[in-house]
Structure 1
């Protein structure tokens, strides 16, 4: 298990989409599951990769 959580910037880079799109997805309940830690949103890499696989991605 990867111990480092990804920031919204990390997920944006990984998916190749703008950060604002991730923020919009969060408000709509779409996209990979993020967790709020204080004022920050963090993502587990395996959650992001699982979500991509569920979308038919590689």
Structure 2
């Protein structure tokens, strides 16, 4: 029985599809680093010239943007 292998490391193209963001976003975010008023880059791994993303890092990065309340409620609580 051959089970499909789920790769732990994703290429830039695979990562962009996984997080529904463009490859240019990933490239620009890597170059810019974490800057004020910019969406931070997800963590990445550099192996030689190859850039790879760990699936669990992408999941944690996505989770960091989840809003548990409505934006209007956040503004009224101050």
| TM-score class normalised by the smaller sequence | 0.7 to 0.9
Task: Identify the match of residue 54 of structure 2 among 40, 44, 54.
Answer: 44
After superposing the two structures, state which structure 1 stretch, 29-38 or 43-52, moved more.
Answer: 29-38
Instruction: State the superposition RMSD in angstroms.
Output: 1.7
Unaligned runs of 5+ in 1: none
1:16 match: 20
Matched, 1:55 2:48: no
Structure 1: 4+ residue segments shifted above 6 A = none
Instruction: Return the index of the structure with the highest Cα Rg.
Output: 2
Please state how far the C-alpha of 1:3 moved relative to its aligned partner: 5.5
Please state how far the C-alpha of 1:4 moved relative to its aligned partner: 2.7
